[in-house]
Structure 1
Amino acid sequence: MTSKNRCRLCGKVFATSTALKQHMKAVHRSYYYGVRIGILGAVLAIMAVSILVYSSLPQPPPTTTGVATTSTSTSVQTSKSTTQTPSKPAPDFTLPEIDSLGLTGKTISLSQFNGKPVFLEFMSPMCGHCAKMTPVIKELKEKYGDRVVFISIMFGNASSKAFQEIASEFIRERGLDWIHVVDSDLKVFREYNVRGTPTYVVLNKEHMEVSRLIGSGTTEEALEEALKKVLQ
């Protein structure tokens, strides 16, 4: 049985995440429901902060051919696709890594992957449209994961236990096997001019932005075409 379904309180390991949940409810009831209440508070707090942060940003310029544009909403249902003419490398970043068990204690930097194309997903574990796109990203990771580095940049408070639980559960229940990091203060979101989730930014091996796709209406075909451009 996988250690991913280990009870953090008593150490027992279960065959499925469902069995682990049932155990937590039955044996560690006060802890389980205490965490759930904390998660609800974290969700509300993150939603409030996201509204304040995004509303404080300047409005994006009108759409023009060849220039990346973004949406003003924090959750985007429609799809936009732009092709960039690379001019300078994308901003480097260093962010804490999180996986199905919580924060790993490691940090991930874009510069670690110099010489490799990178697929960046800007998302939130509370974003319904991001969740809808998960099967698409998984399929692309299976096809191109040996040639392209996949990184999901989550918006959330990395120091919050409630957020860590939300993010880890999102990763664990969907079986996501690529890199996830947390952008607690939206610094990287701002540097990449991301104004809505999900947003996908594809970098070539020099880490120049080549393509940007926005919204859950983005198709697998459009994302795959963007990946093929950086593999030519």
Structure 2
Amino acid sequence: MLADTKKVGGFLLLAAALLLNGCKEEKAEVGAAAPALAAYDLQGNPASLEKWQGKHVYLNFWASNCGGCLVEMPVLEKLSKEFGDSIVVVGINTDKEEMNIQALLDERQVSFPNVRDQLAITQERYQVIGTPTAFLIDPQGKLTGQYIGMLHEPELKAIFEKSRQKG
């Protein structure tokens, strides 16, 4: 009986690993199509890049314990309002589910969309190894830029202005 249980457990573990591996095949590459999100909005609904199709998307991976991420937030909020006609900022939170990011977003008055990536599948697809890391996606869904580390307002504004010019 114990041997059968171990076999079944081993099979299930292998099946889960293969299934997750299949989900994570996509890899981000500048110049190629942006990988799909495997994340959920704060209401628990699946998030999809198609929601913002037709606009540039500034996909910003962040964590609540990342000082650079928290410093960027008010600048991203300001720019998301200023450039809202051509670009949408989408925060991808990498914290575990127990973290109440809604309270943090409310406290910092962040209104741009944020989604959660608790299983780290989206992080793996985008090959994110630290936060903040961001990607610029054009209106056709192609990755046009990758930005690793905290950016200051002049750098962020230049990225947003370029995306407006490319319309």
The TM-score with structure 1 as length reference comes to 0.55
The residue number in structure 2 matching 1:97 is 41
Confirm or deny: 8 A CA contact 2:59 2:90 kept in the other structure: yes
Q: Distance in 2 between matches of 1:126 and 1:219?
A: 18
Q: Does 1:141 align with 2:85?
A: no
Aligned length, in residue pairs: 137
Confirm or deny: 8 A CA contact 1:201 1:212 kept in the other structure: yes
Q: Does 1:203 align with 2:147?
A: no
Q: Which of 127, 132, 142 is the equivalent residue of 2:71?
A: 132
Partner AA of 1:189 in structure 2: Q
The residue number in structure 2 matching 1:224 is 157
Confirm or deny: 8 A CA contact 1:140 1:224 kept in the other structure: yes
Cα distance, 1:146 vs. partner? 2.6
SS in 1 for 2:106: helix
The residue number in structure 2 matching 1:186 is 120
Cα distance, 1:131 vs. partner? 0.8
Confirm or deny: 8 A CA contact 1:210 1:230 kept in the other structure: no
Cα distance, 1:130 vs. partner? 0.8
Q: Distance in 1 between matches of 2:137 and 2:81?
A: 18
SS in 1 for 2:61: strand
SS in 1 for 2:44: strand
The residue number in structure 2 matching 1:111 is 50
Confirm or deny: 8 A CA contact 1:92 1:111 kept in the other structure: no
SS in 1 for 2:155: helix
Partner AA of 1:184 in structure 2: Q
The TM-score with structure 2 as length reference comes to 0.75
Aligned Cα root-mean-square deviation (Å):
1.7
Higher relative contact order (CA 8 A, sep 6+): 2
Cα distance, 1:105 vs. partner? 3.5
Confirm or deny: 8 A CA contact 1:91 1:192 kept in the other structure: yes
Task: State the identity %.
Answer: 26
Give ranges in structure 1 of 5+ residues lacking alignment: 1-67, 69-83, 99-103
The residue number in structure 1 matching 2:148 is 214
Give ranges in structure 2 of 5+ residues lacking alignment: 1-28
Question: Which contiguous aligned blocks of 4+ residues in structure 1 show a shift greater than 3 angstroms?
Answer: none
Q: Distance in 2 between matches of 1:224 and 1:125?
A: 23
Measured against aligned partners, the alpha-carbon deviations of 1:129-186 in whole angstroms (never above 9, x if no partner) come to 211111211121121123212110001233x3xx1x2x12210100100111110121
Confirm or deny: 8 A CA contact 1:202 1:209 kept in the other structure: yes
SS in 1 for 2:71: helix
Confirm or deny: 8 A CA contact 2:135 2:143 kept in the other structure: yes
